[in-house]
Structure 1
Amino acid sequence: MKQQQNFLANLRYDLPASVVVFLVAMPLCLGIALASGAPLFSGIIAGMIGGIVVSLISGSQLGVSGPAAGLAVIVLNAINDLGAFENFLLAVVIAGVIQIILGIVKAGVIGYYFPSSVIKGMLSGIGLLIFLKQLPHAVGYDADPEGDFSFFQVDGHNTLSELWYMWDAVTPGAMVITALSLIILISWDKPFIKKTFLSNIPGPLLVVSLGIGLNLFFDSIPVLDITSEHLVTIPVATSASEFLNQFTTPNFAAFTEPKIYVVALTLAVVGSLETLLSVEATDKLDPMKRVTPTNRELIAQGIGNMCSGLIGGLPVTQVIVRSSANIQSGGRSKASAFFHGILLLVCVMIIPSVLNLIPLASLAAILLVIGYKLTNPKQFVQLYKKDMSLFLPFIVTILGIVFTDLLRGIGLGMAVGIINILWNNFKIPYHLDPDNIKDNEPIIIQLAEDVSFLNKASILRTFNKLPDNTHVIIDATKNHSIHPDVLEIIEDFELNAKTRDIKVELKGFEEVEKYDPVKQFHKLF
């Protein structure tokens, strides 16, 4: 009953948000399918499954699932390696089974080991990439398909060079639509609009409606005319049987092919990581700060992938682009994700011809604003001023995502974060102030909470520099664990100290735990 009340209470927020998510998801579903070398309709199927099936099972209130750009290259190579799209669909089904198993064994905690600076870098990197990728579409240069998120492209261009080449193929009508759309979207966030009845009309919905109207109007103005390559392209079925024929079933005869399982495992692992990172990022963006149960999310994604693969869809993950669009548009509960899936299904069945009138420039304007909000330029200055140990993983993650891909970018950010932690651990294994060493008073070396093998060199160097004829106290009362190699160095120092007339006193070592590398890994994060 309580869930039903929440559903009804949030419906006035979730329905408009679902329209925005649908408008953002539609071109991305098509574009990712195109970039993946798969039938265009397979992207739509994945979007429908992500909205209708996954949202019902998932515990995420604002996350939206569908085909992911981060998997496009994997999908493209997998289809080529397996020889047929039907073989690939079987791998998607098996990947779903693997994800369900991962959820059952509670592998969802993996997402919690990613530092917040990397998560923020992921959001900003994706936002920057979306912004850069949409600029050509905003001026009517649509030579590259929507959803092509790689930096280096098959035509020899790259994300930055496209910004130069686009000026050779400008479409005036598209530029007019983009300009007017941006004015509307920016104005809709201003107080003078929010205080009027206009605030009840979603800005992106108005932008798309304006785009369709101007597209039809520009047909009579040759210089502003927008041709079909600058419009959304959805397969149009003329009958129910033709619509159903667009669905494809897996080739179960390929069940004994070893390559199928390699692809399935790859999809399951990469898709799960992308989902868990998106969950972490979406929860951070949630104004209500709700926490998504990650193990349940893996099970939901697994069921979604099984359903998608069985009817001819691409693999699904929770996707930060659509999730952030949902949040930015005022979504309150999972109903917005569910209704966006329903809209995808209804629209491709009933009004595909109307959707094919939407200019890509209208969608580019929506995504430009979303990309800017995700990038959040103020965040760069805040993290830089706050702490360099937070800023470096943040900026490396962004650069890695823009110049390579999502997972490599996150990996680079994680590597920098870990190196920074290890370096700090290497520098500060103990406390000793050489300026406060006084004659006839003991020298106290206070060990840190955790001393690893990385500290061997600095500890050995300190022991060698200690003056002869002194009293040295090695204090481990605040230490929790110490590596056996370091203990061996201390034992050797005790023996060597006798030859230098150094009196060595050990404190607190009886309380020190045995070094546990698993615990040390957990403490890194």
Structure 2
Amino acid sequence: MSLKNIKNDLSASLVVFLVALPLCLGLGLASTQQSDLVFSGIIAGIVGGVVVGLASGSAIGVSGPAAGLVVIVLGALNTLGSFELLILSVFLAGVIQMIAGFLKAGIIGYYFPSSVIKGMLAAIGLTLILKEIPHALGYDKDFMGDFALEQTDGHNTFTELFYAFQYNSPGAIIISVISLGLLILFEQSFMKRIGLFKFLPGALFVVLTGIALNKLFGTAMPDWQLSGEHLVQLPVAGSASEFVSFFRLPDFNGLTNPQVYITAITIALVASIETLLCVEATDKLDPLKRTTPTNRELKAQGLGNMISGLIGGLPITQVIVRSSANISAGGTSKVSTICHGLILLLSAIFIPTFLNQIPLASLAVILLMVGYKLSKISLYRSMYKLGWHQFIPFIVTVIAILSTDLLKGIGIGMVVAIFFILRENFRHSYRVKKKPEANGETVIIHLSEEVTFLNKASIQMKLEELPKNSKVIIDGSNSVHIDYDVLEIINEFKLHVAPGKDITVETVSIPHVELAASH
């Protein structure tokens, strides 16, 4: 864990905290539908930050409760009949993930096509924008953090937008407009040259401004003041014993209940897939182009879910929204991830009353900016320039996720991506030759006639195995077709990874590709 950029990491941790707080509370309420269990989302956020942050090999990935598990958790809670049996399932899901990590099941993460991953990022960005506009307008009927299109009240994301424009709040709109202006101001280069603002993020000033404006409304325009459901609603403990009561222990008598194991397997499977998807997406967003060891990530997530289940938390995955916010805020190491978890814990203990003065409109604007950065127009343009074999799976993934949910959308996108690959021909392989030379050994990688994304994992692992101060020749002279995903790996390795390891890379008949904008 590097402390070299601790100022940037601490600043980023504040932004991630402000993003995570409403999501943890919203997911806690959406997953349980019970106000007395809302703290389960905060517990998962704390564990995801501190425990998973310490155990993970990801420098910038942030874990916590995930929207993709809301329906599963809510359904399991109704089936099992008690929250204590649900968290027992979360604990057992963690055990299953730990076993999967030791069995090296994390390699699955390397087999997702680049076009589908980027489609997932764009879709999540659009979903964030659609879900946060009502909160920015002051219509807070839907839970923050519940990303499902269909809501429990019979509405969906688009009807929520319709009602938001009908039943808005002038106070929330003013707070949102000023907050958005502040965030845009803090994005300007001249602001980043001011010493104070290098450490204190714009998101913090947005929150403080939102609180101040709402107080002003209470004095000057009482009808505009926001209260109740329009503010953060973190549980406030009157004593230490009451705070401890927010944590729950699993009911181990449920170990004889077959439904507990079915729930555990379901949670482990979905949480692992979401994590591996987010790991791949986060690595693409990482400016330093680091690669997260996926088997270690499964073990870290397993440990996190075991601990979260033991103390009354929701299931955990790596989450792209928080990870993206971390990267955008300048986070470079695990310090930001761990510190955001500690801030969640300390805030819940010492300043819940202050946090409950934060307007949801202020936090919605922060999330709107995160959504915009995930789904910039430049991403769509760059994917279009790569050709139909990349753009169609990308745009189908976006539409499918918006129309269904994350995992179904990814599945549809995968089918389309595989169709395009099969159309190019399914035969693929490569061979490695080592050539002794006076100053050492040169590794020659001969690519075959057809190279598709199915070669992605093996080629990436082969490149990662190369020792420091070595030389490699990647020869594509025999190749008729090299898929973009493989070209992307080779070019990223040549441009970003190899120089840091003093590896000399020579390519033969390997076209240079324009790397799609990640953020």
- TM-score interval for Structure 1 and Structure 2 normalised by the shorter chain: 0.7 to 0.9
Matched position secondary structure for 2:425: helix
1:50 corresponds to which residue? 48
Judging changes above 3 Å, is the alpha-carbon distance between structure 1 residues 450 and 121 closer, same or farther for their aligned structure 2 residues? closer
Runs (5+) with no aligned partner, structure 1: 428-447, 452-477, 481-525
Instruction: Indicate how the Cα distance of structure 1 residues 175 and 479 shifts in structure 2: closer, same or farther if over 3 A, else same.
Output: closer
> Which residue does 1:330 correspond to in 2?
330
1:399 positional shift:
1.1
The equivalences for 1:87-98 within 5 A come to: 87-98=85-96
SS in 1 for 2:370: helix
Q: Secondary structure at the match of 1:145?
A: coil
Rounded to whole Å, the distance in 2 between the matches of 1:122 and 1:426 is: 25
Shift of 1:189: 1.2
Counterpart-to-counterpart distance in 1, 2:227 and 2:241 = 30
1:24 to 13, 19, 26: 19
Number of the residue aligned with 1:205: 204
Q: CA offset at residue 479 of structure 1?
A: 11
Q: Distance in 1 between matches of 2:406 and 2:449?
A: 35
CA shift for structure 1 position 185: 0.5
Correspondence 1:12 to 2:10: no
> Structure 2 vs 1, CA of residues 426 and 101 (structure 1 numbering), >3 Å: closer, same or farther?
closer
Question: Which residue in the other structure is 1:111 paired with?
Answer: 109
TM-score, length-scaled by structure 2: 0.80
CA distance in 1, matches of 2:115, 2:318: 20
User: Shift of the alpha carbon at 1:147?
Assistant: 1.2
Partners of 1:189 and 1:423 lie apart in 2 by 44
How many Å separate the matches in 2 of 1:198 and 1:57? Answer: 32
Asked whether the 8 Å contact 2:14–2:340 carries over to 1, the reply is yes
Which whole-Å CA distance do the structure 1 matches of 2:277 and 2:401 have between them?
Answer: 14
Moved more, 118-127 or 379-388: 379-388
Provide the C-alpha distance between the structure 2 equivalents of 1:94 and 1:168, rounded to a whole number of angstroms.
46
Give the aligned residue type for 1:307: I
Q: Write the letter of the residue equivalent to 1:278.
A: C
- Bigger mean CA deviation after superposition, 152-161 or 245-254: 152-161
For residues 400 and 247 of structure 1, do their structure 2 counterparts lie closer, same or farther at Cα, with a shift above 3 Å needed? Answer: same
CA distance in 1, matches of 2:346, 2:194: 32
Q: Helix, strand or coil for the counterpart of 2:180?
A: helix
Counterparts of 1:85-484 in structure 2 under 5 Å? 85-197=83-195, 199-200=197-198, 201-220=200-219, 221-425=221-425
Question: 1:422: how far off?
Answer: 2.1
CA displacement 1:167-186 (0-9 Å, x = unmatched): 22111111001000000111
The structure whose Rg is larger is: 1
Amino acid paired to 1:16:
S
Q: C-alpha distance in 1, partners of 2:107/2:274? A: 13
Aligned to 2:32, what secondary structure does the other structure show? coil
C-alpha separation between the residues in 2 aligned to 1:422 and 1:82? 43
Whole-angstrom CA distance in 1 between matches of 2:317 and 2:389: 30
Measured after TM superposition, the shift of residue 426 of structure 1 is: 8.5
Shift of 1:198: 5.1
Q: Any idea what SS the aligned residue of 1:314 has?
A: coil
Partner amino acid for 2:215? Answer: L
The alpha carbon displacement at 1:225 in A equals 1.2
What secondary structure, in the 3-state scheme, does the structure 2 residue paired with 1:288 have?
A: coil
Which residue identity does 1:374 align to in structure 2? L
1:421 Cα deviation after fit: 1.7
- Distance in 2, matches of 1:479 and 1:243, equals 63
The alignment yields a C-alpha RMSD, in angstroms, of 1.9
**How far apart, in 2, do the equivalents of 1:81 and 1:158 lie?**
24
Per-residue CA deviations over 1:107-127 (Å, capped at 9, x if unaligned) read 111010001111101111000
C-alpha displacement at 1:339, in angstroms? Answer: 0.5
Structure 1 window deviating more from structure 2 (94-103 vs 385-394): it is: 385-394
- Structure 2 residues not aligned, in runs of 5+: 428-447, 452-477, 481-519
Superposed CA offset, 1:340-369 (max 9, x none): 111111011111000000000000110111
2: CA distance, partners of 1:60 / 1:94: 23
When residues 219 and 71 of structure 1 are mapped into structure 2, their CA distance, relative to the original with a 3 A threshold, is same
Counterpart secondary structure, 1:338: helix
Deviation at 1:192? 3.0
What is the deviation of 1:400? 1.5
- Give deviations 1:367-389, integer Å, cap 9, x for gaps: 11110000011111221232101
Structure 1 residue 265: deviation in Å? Answer: 0.7
Comparing 150-159 with 314-323, which one deviates more in the overlay?
Answer: 150-159
